[in-house]
Amino acid sequence: MFSVEEIGDAAFAGCSNLSAIYSYAAEPISLGSDHAQVRTRADDGETAASAVFAEVDKETCVLYVPKGSGDKYRHADGWGEFLNIVEIESSELGDANNDGEVSADDINAISSYIVRGDTKNFIFKNADVNGDKMVNAADIVNIVNMNK
């Protein structure tokens, strides 16, 4: 079994349209390296860790982490810069809004994701009901059929 031990320097740099990141590691993964060359402005205090996500909008991008790991990520170098850290509670297929049940609210969450790109409390892997690595109207149809 392989696992990620470090996310390298500038791995997500320039990904300004990134709206959600899912980390399934209970312990925050190390970001950057001690020898990274980081260009900073005098007032922003960037570190090698924060350079991994340079230009990612950490105010709007949602960081999803395992239940019980939120505080660890909030206090970890680089990870703690994200303002929206959501602990994933539900792993139930169809529970797109992370409320622990599959209902019409999940259809609304998927619709909102498709139309407006809303990712707040949105669990992509639960919303991808048909497993095609996309969230679209086909997943809504599958949820409707699941509840018949």
Q: Could you tell me the CATH number of the domain that includes residue 94? A: 1.10.1330.10
Q: What is the pLDDT of residues 88-122, one digit of tens each?
A: 877 788 999 888 789 999 999 999 999 998 887 88
Exposed, middle or buried: residue 126 (CB in 10 Å: 0-12, 13-18, 19+)?
buried
Residue pair 49/25 in contact (Cβ under 8 Å)? The answer is: no
In a domain, 1, yes or no: no
Please check whether residues 121 and 137 belong to one and the same domain.
yes
In a domain, 41, yes or no: yes
In a domain, 135, yes or no: yes
In a domain, 110, yes or no: yes
Please check whether residues 15 and 65 belong to one and the same domain.
yes
pLDDT at 60: 92
Rounded Cα distance between 92 and 107, Å, is: 14
pLDDT at 13: 87
Which of these three, 63, 86, 109, is where a domain ends? Answer: 86
Count of structural domains within the chain = 2
Please check whether residues 18 and 82 belong to one and the same domain.
yes
In a domain, 118, yes or no: yes
| pTM of the predicted model as reported, rounded to 2 decimal places | 0.62
Do strands 20-22 and 62-66 pair parallel, antiparallel, or not at all (unpaired)?
parallel
In a domain, 3, yes or no: no
Average pLDDT by stretches of 10, the chain with 148 residues: 75 90 88 55 56 89 90 93 88 86 92 90 90 93 84
CB burial of 22-53 (b: ≥16 within 10 Å; e: otherwise) equals ebeeeebbbbbeeeeeeeeeeeeeebbbbbbb
Please check whether residues 82 and 139 belong to one and the same domain.
no
pLDDT at 36: 45
For the beta carbon of residue 75, count every other beta carbon within 10 angstroms.
Answer: 10
Residue range(s) defining the domain that contains residue 24: 8-86
pLDDT at 41: 42
In a domain, 49, yes or no: yes
Please check whether residues 99 and 77 belong to one and the same domain.
no
Which of these three, 51, 66, 86, is where a domain ends? Answer: 86
Residue 41: phi and psi, rounded to 5, are: -85, 155
Which of these three, 86, 106, 125, is where a domain ends? Answer: 86
